[in-house]
Amino acid sequence: MKRRIVIKTVLICTGVFLIILSAAYLYVTGRYDIDTRKTVRVLTAAVDIREGMVIEAYMLKYREIKASSVTPLMIGHMDDATGKKAANFIPAGEYLRSSELLPEADWYKDDEKKIVLELQKNNNVSFVLEKGSFIDIKRWSENSGGLPVTVLSRVKVHEILDENGISIEKAVGSRNAYIVLVLDSNQRNRLYAAMTGGGRLFCESYCSILQKPAPEDFVIR
């Protein structure tokens, strides 16, 4: 009889203890918001990174944050940041964001500008001109003795736009198209000078990147 009473007492005490423990757990988690959710690692600046600096591994460190706090612009892997250039100042401790880093293909000199040239309809060269190809820009006029002169040699076609300004991979000869070039100040001046005084500009495309550039024999007068 006494043994049963002891067992019942132990069971009752154990039950009361578990109830109190559960209530305490719910109280603590509700009051202090204990986070048991997944975490991920993202990159932050280990040092101050000045605008224009090329990112190296020693400049970065990982920080572990809640997965729910990650934004699409945050960077989680070293390979996605190293070798790129900072587009603005990034202070130490700040998260690295893809919008603040420039890949090498987007590095430009201070005097480089983008310009757009129109490819006229039925211009034969437009049938073969592709994005990323290299061209010579030539000028023909009656004063050049019947032979064209080279205004700019071996310039890269960075982009081709159709009549609606939409980027395309290849120009189509039956329609007007526009080529986007990145030129420094000297190249732009040569091109602007060639546009004056009459004559006609046209392009010649290189067959291979191994071909040597043509001499630029256009003379600014």
Alpha-carbon gap, residue 217 to 185, rounded angstroms: 18
What's 113-205's CATH class? mainly beta
The domain limits of the chain are 39-104, 113-205
> ∠ CA 54-179-141 to the nearest 5 degrees?
125
List the Cα angle 127/128/133 in 5-degree steps. 140
From first to last of its 221 residues, the chain has per-residue pLDDT tens of 555 665 666 567 676 667 777 776 666 555 555 555 789 999 999 999 998 899 999 999 999 999 888 888 899 999 999 999 998 899 999 999 988 898 887 778 888 899 998 876 544 444 567 888 899 999 888 776 678 899 999 998 988 888 888 888 877 665 677 889 999 999 999 999 988 877 788 888 888 878 899 999 988 87
- DSSP one-letter code for 58: G
What pTM, to 2 d.p., does this model score?
Answer: 0.57
What CATH class is the domain 39-104?
alpha beta
Are 152 and 191 within 8 A, CB to CB? yes
DSSP letter string over the chain?
A: -HHHHHHHHHHHHHHHHHHHHHHHHHHHHHHH----S-EEEEEEESS-B-TTPBP-GGGEEEEEEEGGG--TTB---GGGTTT-EESS-B-TTPBPBGGGEE-GGG---TT-EEEEEEEPTT-GGGGT-BTT-EEEEEEE-GGGTTS-EEEEEEEE--EEE-TTS-EESB--TTS-EEEEEEE-HHHHHHHHHHHSSS-EEEEEE-S-TTSPPPP------
Report pLDDT for 171: 72
Please indicate whether the domains covering 39-104 and 113-205 agree at the CATH topology level. no
Query: Which residues lie across from 17 on neighbouring strands?
Result: none
